Structure 1
Amino acid sequence: MDSLRTIHDVPVWMCAADGAAVGTEADVLDLIGDAGYHGAQWVALPVERLDEAFFRLRTRFAGDVVQKFANYRLGLAVVGDISRYTAESSALRDFVRECDRGRQTWFPADLGEFEERLKD
């Protein structure tokens, strides 16, 4: 079950790995709405919840998701191992590297890494 948790004074909407899949614009808006309603500043979304299309940049789904989160001023952490996707796509590796340099979207390998990044 998704829930709000405060990490280093930052309210984070923690999504459960076994929750509803995020594969459409409506799914993204529902997630943003839930997080915003609970006062979250970040959403920690397990990789397992994302549709495979997110990791195929030609679908533009990843860009749309990141843009929606930016529009609503919410941070997005895609938490988990994405190495099988980045191994297949240099464009995705570049996208992840650029995101990780910023303050809007991160791809931490696990919750511990995400929590460390929130300290800064």
Structure 2
Amino acid sequence: MKMKIIAQNNLIVAVVECDSPQITSAQSALELLMEAQYEFECSRLAVPKEALPEDFFILSTGLAGEILQKFINYHGKIAVFGDFSGYRSKSLRDFIYESNNGRDVFFVPSQDEAVRCLMEA
């Protein structure tokens, strides 16, 4: 998976570049995080919504929890960016709201906002 690096104030964010689901399991999420840590000494990833399968956004599948737990367990931070307005699930909206009030997981509309959140976290 292609990543570009943004560095500011001694912090590094890896921005994942893809337009199809690449993070499809907890294992693939862990591999991506380890790749960023090994290649760039970076544990902050900005990921486009398109890198995740639709099952991620159906909380009852458990996929979101599995993937995000890998980031937490391995001291990573992730910001998923894209348009989430099409999702009508109240539980998903609540999940996004709660995530955005934390320090490790963010759901934001743009890549720039994702980088900003990760730099400030």
Q: Same fold (TM over 0.5)?
A: yes
Secondary structure of the structure 2 residue equivalent to 1:2: strand
Q: Please, which runs of 5 or more residues in structure 2 have no aligned partner? A: none
For 1:29-74, what per-residue CA distance to the aligned partner results, in whole angstroms no more than 9, with x for missing partners? 2111111112113100000110111100000111111111001111
> Which residue of the other structure, out of 56, 59, 70, is the alignment partner of 2:58?
56
* 1:9 to 1:111, Cα distance in 2 relative to 1, 3 A: farther
CA contact (8 A) 1:77 1:106 kept: yes
Q: How many angstroms does 1:116 deviate by?
A: 3.4
Number of residue pairs matched?
A: 118
Query: 1:28 & 1:45 partners in 2: Cα distance?
Result: 11
Q: How many angstroms does 1:115 deviate by?
A: 3.4
Query: 2:104 & 2:91 partners in 1: Cα distance?
Result: 19
Match of 2:31 in 1: 30
TM-score (norm 1): 0.88
TM-score (norm 2): 0.87
Secondary structure of the structure 1 residue equivalent to 2:70: helix
Q: Please, which runs of 5 or more residues in structure 1 have no aligned partner? A: none
Query: 1:115 & 1:72 partners in 2: Cα distance?
Result: 19
Identity percentage of aligned residues: 32
Match of 1:99 in 2: 99
Match of 2:83 in 1: 81
Secondary structure of the structure 2 residue equivalent to 1:81: coil
Secondary structure of the structure 2 residue equivalent to 1:69: helix
Larger strand proportion of the pair: 2
In the TM superposition, structure 1's runs of 4+ consecutive aligned residues that sit over 4 Å from their partners are none
Please identify, of 89-98 and 107-116, the stretch whose mean Cα deviation from structure 2 is larger. 107-116
